[in-house]
Each structure stands twice: as structure tokens, then as C-alpha cells.
Amino acid sequence: MDSTDVIATDVLIVGGGPSGLATAIHLAGSLKKRGLDKRIILIEKGSSIGSHTLSGAVIDPKIFKTFLPDVDIEDIPFDSEVTVDQTLFLTEAGEKVLPFHPPYMNNIGNYSTSISKLCQYLAEIAQSRGVEIYTGFAVEDVIYKEGKVAGIKTKDTGVDHHGNKMKNYQEGTVVEAAITILAEGTRGSVTKKVIDALHLDSGCNEQIYSLGVKELWSVPEGNIEAGTVYHTMGYPLQSGSEFGGGFIYGLKDNKVALGLVVGLDYRDPSFDVHAAMQVWKQHPFVSKILEGGSIEEFGAKTLPEGGYYAMPRFYDDNLMIVGDSAGFLTTARLKGIHLAIESGMLAANAAIKALVKGDTSEESLSHYRKLFEESNAYEELYRARNFRQSFSKGMVLGGLQFATQLVTGGAGLLGRLKTEKDSETLLPLDSRAFTPFKERFAGKLEFDKKLTFDKVTDVYYSKANHDEEQPCHLVLNNPENYQRVNIEKYGCPEAAFCPAEVYELHIDKEGNKALRIHAENCVHCKTCDIKSPGAGITWNVPYGGDGPDYTQM
Ligand SMILES: Cc1cc2nc3c(=O)[nH]c(=O)nc-3n(C[C@H](O)[C@H](O)[C@H](O)COP(=O)(O)OP(=O)(O)OC[C@H]3O[C@@H](n4cnc5c(N)ncnc54)[C@H](O)[C@@H]3O)c2cc1C
Ligand code: SF4
């Protein structure tokens, strides 16, 4: 893209994950059928499509019949059809296969896949339909005209870490669009600003998140069959205060995708999801599957878990929001890809109607909401509308509440349940309400770099990279407050929760404590933007092309 001119397009999509690509494909296909010639541009911050997407992933494939009706399911780069599907409860040394799946967790007939590969495939289809895809460009903000979204601006480059323009300075590109569609995925950095500016979340529950830490392994033949799906509950998480569990998906060519997903509403400021995953891998059930194998890729990402009541208004004048950015994810199923695709299709249908009428006003694009209310996505999300909130007070109480929701169509006995912001759930470090993480897992936090890895070693397997000559993309919203609250009161929870060792609590000889930020390690999971207490941290988009370089996630 040329940085000097203003580019004009009919539709601009920010983000090349499943939601953005589905929007582009469906829109381009439908416009072509109607003989309409409209320009569609998609911008992705990863150096290539799929390099910043990370998922489990087991996909519910039904949506593909309507999304790609002319494509044979065999031609989609899924890995394996799920034929073995078990949920296990782990204790520290043992496991028990549950005689039934928790509701919504049946996966027989679904397909495992690498979302990176799936997105590459979808990008080829989009391009074959005339969509212009630009990778390696980071969208920093939307532009407004008369208070209405009118397009985007990409990030200026060639700026040193003090913010001074260097010789190679290039101003970001402005792209003006009749319709801008935000498909940034979880905790979108532009989406967050737009939601705030336009008050799109007024009346909504707080969006809450979990963090998923994932590794891809190659293991000896026979350790696990392709098409096998295990989900684990219990160890190493505490049922009263930590929501989440593990996933292990057997893939073709003796590969295994595995990870631990933990709700960010936990209370112990020393809790560390990455380290908890390393502890989980030492459990005999998991370590047996990995025995003799080796790691190939590592990554981490958050998931929006708030569900239906946390979804913002996902349309405004000239604007729509799709996929994870709008909260299209069913936590009870650990699934969002099919909803990301469906939301993209619904937004595309609303966009076509608006473009044909020449009316991209809020009222016109509210058609997206109407289509949503008539969709399968709505039915799925509405039925599970109180699911995640039930578990914020522990698994036992949550299980009981969930049981009542199942027989009342999702309402439960208490009606709409609220959520607390993830950044406000931590207890002070000196609270006696929990055993600190390092004590809980004493003896299990020495990582051997064969089965278990420290964060820096794992980051190596994410291939994360950032240009060092740029302003730090991680900004303390109030440094003074950070020292007093985050360091003194909570003991620097960022050093614990960041899965990539970006944050380090440095203590000098005199005992003075200070935060050091190793921004180059960042894998763009967005946890710090969500979980940091006090005044918090803002995750700004770094230069386009920076970040992880996933190929099989
Ligand atoms: C650990 C884990 C396991 C999961 N397991 C499953 C599963 O088994 N099944 C399932 O269905 N779902 C699963 N999900 C959820 C699923 O991956 C998401 O719901 C889905 O990827 C959402 O698609 P999306 O297009 O909205 O966002 P994403 O896939 O996150 O794509 C967003 C894209 O936008 C780009 N982007 C973001 N900001 C900008 C910007 N400012 N400028 C330019 N580009 C930008 C990103 O780089 C990225 O490529 C899992 C998620 C995680 C984290
Ligand atoms: S710095 Fe923030 S976004 Fe980057 S890896 Fe750490 S927690 Fe995730």
C-alpha cells in the first residue's frame, strides 16, 4: 500500500482471521452473483495470513455447507474427523474418564485443524474472488468524519523508541471506506477504542476472557491416534477459584496439539497459566502422550468468554464488528471459529444490502443485528447466555447453576447473571486466601527443556520478533500508580500472567523494585491489556509484520 495517498474502497476489513476472511469471501461472492463491482480490501498485521491466528482447533463443520456450498469438505484443509472423544477429570496423579460429556462438549463428527492453515486456504479463495489482501500492515485506529467511522489509518513506521521520526519514517496509510468491518479477534486494539468512543457496550456485561497457552508436538507413532480428542478438567486448576481445563488433539503425521485454557477471573496474583500448563504436562496421562516427542511450535492467545450478554452493539454508521472482537464465541463448547464465519456471512449480507441501497447508516447496518437474531449463531449463544458467569464463583456452584440453565433454556433460576472485570478480581499478594502459585507447585517448576519449557524457550518456538526501533507497544497507563498498586500491592502480576516473559520485576541490590519490559517477546495474546490491575496496561499495535510467526497453530 502506498503511504502518501489516501486509498478509497467500498469495504475495508481489519483482520485476516476466519471472521474477516469469511466476510470477504461471502461479500465478494454475493456481489459477483449480482453483477456488482465493488472494491474490498482486507488488512492483516501478521507477516502472512495465519501467522497471528491461534486456536485449538476442533471445528464444528456445519457452517461450511452454507459458507462454501460448492466445496467438497474433503478439499478443506481439515486435519482429521473426530472419532474418539473423551472428557477426563484429573487428580494430581490419576485420571477418570467421565461417563458422559459436559453439555455442549460432544465432538464426534467435528474436525480438527490448524487455524493458520485454514486461514491460508480461505485467503486464496478470497483473492480468487477479487479481494485485495495486504499482510504486514498494522491498523492503528479508525478515522472519523463528522463523528462517524470513515475508514482506518495504519501505523506510522520509522519512529525511534522515544517517538522521534527517523530517516526511514513513513506515515501510515489512510484507507477511506464506505463500510469498515473490524475482525481483529480477541480484545481488538482498534475495536476497543471504537467501542469506547461510540459507547457500543452500554448496558452490556463486562467482557471477560481466558488465556489459552498452546504447544504443537511431534510424537512417536502410537502415542495418540489422529482424530482423538481429550479434554481435561481438574488438576492443576483449583475447582473453587480457577475456571478452565486442558485440550489434547491427536493430528495426522503423529502430531499433537495441546494446551491449557484458564479464565482470567482468577484471584491469585502469582497465578501463571504458562507454568500451569508445564505442570499439567507432567501429569502421567499427558506426559505419556508426549513421551519421546518434541515440541514444534508454541503460542498463546486470549478468548472472549463473556457470551451473549457481553456482546457489544456490533454495528454503527459505516461500521460492523465480527468474530471474537464482537464476542462471537461459545465458551461452553470452547468454539468460536464457526461463529466467526457465520458472523462474517451475516455482516456481508448486511453490507450488500447497504451498498445496493447506497445507505451505510447505522439504521441500514442494523440489518446485521436482525439477521443475527434469526441465525443459528444467536440460538447457540442465547442458549448458553449465562454459562460462563455461573462459574465465576467456582466449579461446584457453577455446575449447579448450569444444571438449572439446561432445563430452563439458559435462563437458570437467577435470570441474567453479571460479570466482574478480569482486571478487578485479583486479591493482594499478602492475602491469606490462597497458597501462592510457587508454593502450590513446589518441585514442579523446574523445566527440563524436554517435556517442560520456561517461557523464553517457548517464545523461541513462536518465532516472535519485533523491530526494536519503535515506541514500546506496551504502555503503562499510569507509571506512578503502577509502582504503588501493581508492584507493591499485587507483586507484579504481569510477570506471572504474561506467557512470553515480556514483563520482569527487577529488584536491585538496595531492594528497589522496577518493571522491565521485553516487548520483543510479545506473542500478541492481549492478556496484559485485560488482566493488569490498577490503572492497567494498554496493548498498542506494533509495526505490521511484528509478532509471532505461527505456521501450524
Ligand atoms: C487456545 C484456544 C483454543 C481454541 N480452540 C477452539 C476450538 O477448538 N474450536 C473453535 O471453534 N474455536 C476455538 N478457539 C476460538 C477461535 O480460535 C476464535 O473464536 C476464532 O479464531 C476467532 O476468529 P476471528 O477471525 O474473530 O479472530 P482471529 O482468529 O483472532 O483473527 C484476527 C486477525 O486479525 C488480525 N488483527 C488484529 N488486530 C489487527 C490490527 N489492528 N491490524 C491488522 N490486523 C489485525 C490478527 O493478527 C488476526 O490474524 C480457540 C481459541 C484459543 C485461543
Ligand atoms: S506482553 Fe501482553 S500481549 Fe504480549 S505476550 Fe505478554 S501478556 Fe501477551
Residue ranges and CATH numbers for the domains of the chain are 6-68+118-205+308-383 (3.50.50.60), 79-109+207-302 (3.30.9.90), 389-422 (no CATH)
Q: What separation in Å is there between the alpha carbon of 67 and the centre of ligand 1?
A: 18
Which ligand sits closest to the CA of 546? 1
For the chain, give the number of residues: 553
Centre of ligand 1 to C-alpha 17, Å, is: 6
* 59 CB within 6 A, ligand 1: yes
Find out whether the beta carbon of 531 lies less than 6 Å from any atom of ligand 2. Answer: no
SS3 143: strand
pLDDT of residue 401: 77
Ligand index nearest the alpha carbon of residue 264: 2
pLDDT over threshold 60, residue 3: no
pLDDT, position 1: 64
Q: Which ligand is nearest to the CA of 536?
A: 2
- Confirm or reject: Cβ of 528 under 6 Å from ligand 2: yes
Band of the pLDDT at 500, cuts 50, 70, 90? very high
What confidence score (pLDDT) does residue 402 get?
76
Probe residue for ligand 2, chosen from 45, 504, 539 as the CB with the greatest number of ligand atoms within 8 Å:
539
Is ligand 1 within 6 A of the CB of residue 185?
yes
539 in contact with ligand 2, CB cutoff 6 A: yes
What does the pLDDT look like over 156-166, one tens digit per residue?
Answer: 999 999 999 99
Phi-psi region of 233 (alpha: psi -120 to 50; beta: other; left: phi over 0): beta
Place 100 in a pLDDT band, splitting at 50, 70 and 90: confident
Ligand whose nearest atom lies closest to the CA of 123: 1
Q: Is 227 in the pocket of ligand 1 (CB under 6 A)?
A: no
- In this predicted structure, the answer to whether residue 39 has a pLDDT above a threshold of 70 is yes
Each residue's pLDDT tens digit, 398-428: 777 777 877 777 777 777 888 899 999 999 9
Which ligand 1 atom sits nearest the alpha carbon of residue 322?
26
Rg over CA atoms, the chain: 23
Ligand with minimal distance to 47 CA: 1
Please tell me the number of Cα atoms within 13 Å of 313 on its side-chain side. 19
25 lines ligand 2 (CB under 6 A): no
Averaged pLDDT for residues 136-157: 97
**Which residue's C-alpha comes closest to atom 8 of ligand 1?**
57
Q: 511 alpha carbon to ligand 1 midpoint, in Å?
A: 41
> Which residues neighbour 232 within 8 Å (Cβ) at sequence distance 6 or greater?
87, 88, 89, 90, 95, 245, 246, 247, 248, 280, 285, 286
Residue nearest to atom 6 of ligand 2 (CA): 498
pLDDT digits (tens, 9 = 90+) for 58-68: 999 999 999 99
Three cell numbers at 287?
506426559
Whether 219 has a pLDDT exceeding 70, the answer reads yes
* pLDDT (mean) for 222-232: 98
Give the SS3 label for residue 375.
coil
Give the residue-averaged pLDDT of 24-48.
97
Which carries the bigger pLDDT value, residue 71 or residue 102? 71
Residues 192-198 have a mean pLDDT of: 98
Task: Say yes or no: CB of residue 138 within 6 Å of ligand 1.
Answer: yes
**531 alpha carbon to ligand 2 midpoint, in Å?**
10
Eight-state DSSP code of residue 300 = E
Q: Whole-structure pTM over 0.85, yes or no? A: yes
- What is the mean predicted confidence (pLDDT) over 373-383? 97
3-state SS assignment for residue 291: coil
Stretch 95-101: mean pLDDT: 90
Cell 457481553 locates to 310
Beta carbons of 319 and 299 less than 8 angstroms apart: no
- pLDDT bin (cut points 50, 70, 90) of residue 10 is very high
Residue 396 has pLDDT above 80, yes or no: no
pLDDT of residue 4: 59
State pLDDT tens for residues 67-85. 999 999 999 999 999 999 9
More confident residue, 135 or 395: 135
Query: Is the CB of residue 530 below 6 angstroms from any atom belonging to ligand 2?
Result: no
Rounded to the nearest integer, the mean pLDDT of the chain is 95
Closest among 435, 403, 96 to 238, alpha carbons compared: 435
pLDDT reading at 131 higher than 90? yes
Cα 180 from Cα 114, distance rounded (Å): 28
Residue 36 pLDDT level (bands cut at 50, 70, 90): very high
- How many angstroms separate the CA atoms of 478 and 493, rounded? 16
What is the whole-number distance in angstroms between the Cα of residue 289 and the centre of ligand 2?
Answer: 29
Q: Which residue has the higher pLDDT, 386 or 26?
A: 26
Determine the Cα–Cα distance for residues 424 and 381; give it in Å rounded to an integer. Answer: 25
Burial classification of residue 423, based on how many CB atoms lie within 10 Å of its CB (0-12 exposed, 13-18 middle, 19 or more buried): buried
Q: What is the average per-residue pLDDT within 50-58?
A: 97
Percent of the chain at pLDDT > 70 equals: 99
Residue 103 pLDDT: 78
Query: HSE (CB half, 13 Å, CA atoms) of 118?
Result: 29
Compute the distance from residue 380 Cα to the ligand 2 centre, in Å: 31
